[in-house]
Amino acid sequence: MTANAAATGPLLDLIDIGKTYPGVVALSGVNLSVAPGEIIGLVGENGAGKSTLMKILGGVVAPSEGTIRIDGAERAAMSVADATKAGIAFVHQELNLFDNLDVAANVFIGREPRYGGLLQLVDTKALHEKVTPLLRRLGADFGPATPVANLSLAQRQLVEIAKALSLDARLVIMDEPTSSLTASETARLLGVIADLKANNVSVIFISHRLQEVERCADRVMVLRDGKVVGRLERGQIQHDSMIRLMIGRDLKSLYIPPAAPPRETALDLAEVRTTAFPGQTVTLALRAGEILGLAGLVGSGRTELARAIFGIDRRLGGRITLSGQSLEITEPRDAINRGLYLIPEDRKQCGLLLDFSVSENISLANLPAYARATIVQGDAEDRNAERQKTKLNIKVPSVATQTSSLSGGNQQKVVLGKWLSMSPKVIIFDEPTRGIDVGAKGEIYELMRGLADSGVAILMISSDMEEVIGVSDRIAVMHEGRISGLLERGEFSEDRVLQLAVGKSPQEAAAIKMMMGA
Amino acid sequence: MPAMFKKDLSLLVLILVVGTVVAIINPRFLSPINISNTANLIGLFGMFSIGMGFVIITGGIELSVGSIFALLGVIFIDLLVTYEMSWPLAVVLIILGGTVMGWLHGFLVTKAKLQPFVVTLCGLLIYRGIARYYTEDGTAGFEFGMNFPALEWVTTGRAFGVIPHSFIVFILLAIVMGIVLHKSVFGRYLFAVGKNEEAARYSGIRTDRIITAAYVISGALCGLSAIYLAMYTRSISPASHGNFYELYAIAAAVLGGCSLRGGEGSVLGVVLGTILLQVLQNLVNLLGIPSSLNFAVIGGVILIGVLADQQLVRRRQARLAKK
């Protein structure tokens, strides 16, 4: 479909791009040139500056310095409309689809073919005629009239890509496109990317899944702390080299060994069933003093398990025992009263009240303890918040500061401070370092180990392979709602975790890998 | 909350400005009898507006207020007149009735997961209908010569002949509810639930109970107000008694800084909002503006007030962003 094959020079040139937010250098000195039909892998840890770079490309934020050239023409600043006109399209990590509309309506939203003069009626027939070939090209197994609400995540992604194609995109930027896909869906997506390349469409592929980057990228750019720390050409793109550049240190250094061997079982799950996978049961024992990593793909039911244990969702069945006594939960308060705490995945929506101060957030779960005759004593709250601030090294001018103004790492420490002001027996961390910079990550890991050593049992849900392998004493892997394997520290390897996460035996997984590589 | 305080302050300034203007044009505004009457109305409308503030802070709304006044009002008069019940018992029963209605609304909102607007809209229709059926659309009132001296002293009496007891009760209520909202554990939970129910739940707050409690408080205050209003009007025609009163309460709460999105508001704000509304009512009367324009004036002033406030907030944010 692209008639732009005539273009010879680079499609896009970024020269010395930098972006500074008050107090933070998000990007500096980034150079990137994208040729037509080229697939660029962009890797880097959370907070490395990938999303800032993408926002600049999409015209959402303006760079503080540097030049953008599109087809050789210089642009000081680019608006969203400019980016679209230049043929830059996004497939976002959080899909931007209207799930109350059907596929065709989503693909052509705002650009619907119309008829009926002033009435501006949507020409559904013409719309479907335009969308159908796009879907066929992507190998979609659904039609233009399917409601988006009925589609799986992988199918929704295809809708986004169809939208990009319908815009005659010459550069498609995919942000973590495979993070929620199954192995076969991923293989199909990589096929679509190869097809785009064959049609001279360029792709910037941002992913934590290094195997996939390895398979599809022509070149890889590695970002760390806002700077380009490495560029790899086709022959050099290897998993280990990328990891080394990304984290700038060895994987092993993350692990802090426990001070003492784990003690008695603290939390015992027996045949627990959740609403996400009613047909599956989870049986798992968590010991005091250990960090048990819970790995698995997004959508494997880990967060739902945590929510059911903590009482956010109703548990469909099974027994939970905490410190030898059965745990009857109808709401989070029941779990909290027994010393079982959850640090949720979505910090801003669930973990914190962003409009509340640091102090108010820390006292919220245990407010009656700071009250006399039900009147809250502000100074008692502040004293405790100050203690947590010192203990956890929360970087904030005052405990009266609104938490919305804190960085991700400091916000997470506030959530932690809330629970550490009480008496934890079991803490479930759901993606404890998502969106947190590297330095603060290390601090969080140290705090987790310190807690474990003091006798707290820690269940750490994480999709970050480095984190799971680097921090856990044992790893339980979930696949489609059940525990597909339990690994002791000596057995840890990325391959092993991944095999269990996709629910395959080692042989099957190797076969899938070969098939996908082909 | 300094931002909140600033809002209250600007509302106070607005009240003083409007008051001064009215006083200059028509000095009768400051006559003891006018002030006393206005204070009485402020008391009557303020009591249930505080309850509305609580509900709005949870992110909800209570539309059935006016209909509750009609229903509880006719029942109250019936209890005293037909059943010759002792008045303290009747008062307790009526407040209890309001409490039960509030609890029912809270239950439907939190357990049946219905939208507050829908629940209380149905309440508005149902209670009004029952009130009219109950009296066969007739007017309920005290028979000639019937007197309840103690009850009348409590409700319509005036201390030193000028300070209406309704106003005193309202101020006492405002102080108590102000402490509950701004100082107590429950108040903090209320703001937390209104701001972000999900995060509140993750912190172990029993959000359903907190939300239900807000409707219960509102219902109880409506019960109390129903008695005061019944004693003020002395006769109730159930088709019109209390019509639109919920809108006065919503207006007072919004003027006073309650956000309909929940999580924001103050009792002082609601008090000042109520005062401003009654001063405006008074203005319409005293300045000889046709009373048919009553609502239009109030609506216009609220609109201008909210617009100006929005502008101030935006300017403050711009100033913060510049820093």
pLDDT tens per residue, range B17-45: 989 999 999 999 999 999 999 999 999 99
Q: Which of B179, B195, B202 sits opposite A332 (nearest CB)?
A: B202
A384 touches A362 (CB < 8 A): yes
Chain A CB contacts of B202 below 8 Å: 310, 312, 332, 342, 344, 350-351
User: Around Cβ A482, how many Cβ atoms within 10 Å?
Assistant: 17
Q: Are strands A325-326 and A317-322 parallel, antiparallel or unpaired?
A: antiparallel
CB contact under 8 A, A356 and B195: yes
What mean pLDDT comes out for the span B277-306?
88
Q: Which of A332, A352, A376 sits opposite B184 (nearest CB)?
A: A376
Residue of chain B whose alpha carbon sits nearest to that of A306: B202
3-class DSSP string for A161-196: HHHHHHCCCCEEEEECCCCCCCHHHHHHHHHHHHHH
Q: Domains in chain A, ordered, with CATH?
A: 1-87+168-250 (3.40.50.300), 91-167 (no CATH), 262-349+424-517 (3.40.50.300)
- Percentage above 70 pLDDT, chain A: 91
Confidence (pLDDT) at B146 = 78
Q: What sign does the CA torsion over A187, A188, A189, A192 have?
A: positive
Confidence (pLDDT) at A511 = 57
Lowest-pLDDT choice from A168-182, A190-204, B275-289: A168-182
Query: pLDDT, tens digit, for every residue of B119-156?
Result: 999 999 999 999 999 999 899 988 877 788 899 999 99
Confidence (pLDDT) at A514 = 57
What mean pLDDT comes out for the span B101-122?
97
Structural tokens at position B41: 């109305």
Residue A381 has pLDDT above 80, yes or no: yes
Chain A closest-CA separation from residue B202 CA (Å) = 6
Can you tell me the ipTM of this complex? 0.88
CB contact under 8 A, A364 and B183: no
Residue B207 has pLDDT above 70, yes or no: yes
User: Around Cβ B112, how many Cβ atoms within 10 Å?
Assistant: 8
3-class DSSP string for chain B: CHHHHHHHHHHHHHHHHHHHHHHHHCHHHHCHHHHHHHHHHHHHHHHHHHHHHHHHHCCCCCCCHHHHHHHHHHHHHHHHHCCCCCHHHHHHHHHHHHHHHHHHHHHHHHCCCCCHHHHHHHHHHHHHHHHHHHCCCCCEECCCCCCCHHHHHHHHCEECCCEEHHHHHHHHHHHHHHHHHHHEHHHHHHHHHHHCHHHHHHCCCCHHHHHHHHHHHHHHHHHHHHHHHHHHHCEECCCCCCCCHHHHHHHHHHHCCCCCCCCCCCHHHHHHHHHHHHHHHHHHHHCCCCHHHHHHHHHHHHHHHHHHHHHHHHHHHHHHHHC
Residue A445 has pLDDT above 90, yes or no: yes
Q: Going by C-beta distance under 8 Å and a sequence separation of 6 or more, which residues neighbour residue B193?
A: B58, B59, B200, B205, B207, B210, B211, B262
pLDDT band at A248 (very low <50, low <70, confident <90, very high): low
pLDDT band at B322 (very low <50, low <70, confident <90, very high): low
Q: Best of B179, B203, B207, B261 to disrupt the A interface by mutation (most A CBs within 10 Å)?
A: B203
Residue B5 has pLDDT above 80, yes or no: no
Residue B83 has pLDDT above 90, yes or no: yes
What mean pLDDT comes out for the span B229-247?
94
Query: pLDDT, tens digit, for every residue of A220-247?
Result: 998 887 888 888 888 888 777 777 777 6
Rounded to 5 degrees, what are φ and ψ at B140? -95, 130
CB contact under 8 A, A344 and B203: no
Residue A430 has pLDDT above 90, yes or no: yes
Confidence (pLDDT) at B122 = 97
CB contact under 8 A, A336 and B204: yes
Rounded to 5 degrees, what are φ and ψ at A361? -70, -40
A147 touches A102 (CB < 8 A): yes
Q: Name the more confident of B246 and A67.
A: B246
Q: Going by C-beta distance under 8 Å and a sequence separation of 6 or more, which residues neighbour residue B159?
A: B165, B168
Confidence (pLDDT) at B126 = 98
Query: pLDDT, tens digit, for every residue of A255-267?
Result: 788 888 888 999 9
Residue A249 has pLDDT above 80, yes or no: no
Whole-structure pTM value: 0.81
B190 touches B57 (CB < 8 A): yes
Please give the distance of CA B221 from its chain centroid, rounded to a whole number: 8
Structural tokens at position A249: 């240190």
Query: pLDDT, tens digit, for every residue of B260-270?
Result: 999 999 999 99
Confidence (pLDDT) at B3 = 58
Confidence (pLDDT) at A3 = 41
- For A321, counting Cβ atoms within 10 Å of its Cβ (0-12 exposed, 13-18 middle, 19+ buried), the class is middle
Residue of chain B whose alpha carbon sits nearest to that of A349: B199
Confidence (pLDDT) at A1 = 40
